[in-house]
Amino acid sequence: MASIHWIALNRRDLKDSHNPWWAKCLCSEKNVGFSPKHDAYYCRECYAWLERNCGEETCEHCASRPLANEDAKQEDEDIETSLFLDLVQEFGALD
């Protein structure tokens, strides 16, 4: 069943060039993670950054930072896949 999220935004949120409205964390409870690669905190549920980047084009942390923390998302997916494969190996595939 799909869940519905109601978004309450103001005009400033829509015009934020650093973090567009569709890249903001809308989770009711924050499960915070930290990315040393990008020197920033992010939501572990939706992978949205919880801090703005500095905007400097030469910053080693912010210049290559994507709109969402794709590295953490991929790492979580890899762990989930590995766990699933371990369970299948241990207990067999679902029929």
Look at residues 85, 66, 73 and name the one whose alpha carbon lies nearest to residue 46.
73
63 part of a folded domain: yes
- What total of structural domains would you count in the chain? 1
Domain encompassing residue 42: 11-91
Put residue 39 in one of left, alpha, beta given phi > 0 → left and psi -120 to 50 → alpha: left
Determine, yes or no, domain membership for 3.
Answer: no
At residue 65, what is the residue type?
R
Contact 71, 49 (CB under 8 A): no
pLDDT in tens, 15-41: 455 666 667 888 888 789 999 988 999
In a domain, 43, yes or no: yes
- At residue 17's C-alpha, the angle toward residues 72 and 3, to 5°, is 55
Answer whether residue 5 is part of any domain: no
- pLDDT, one tens digit per residue, over 37-91 is 889 998 998 888 888 888 888 998 888 888 888 888 898 899 999 999 999 999 9
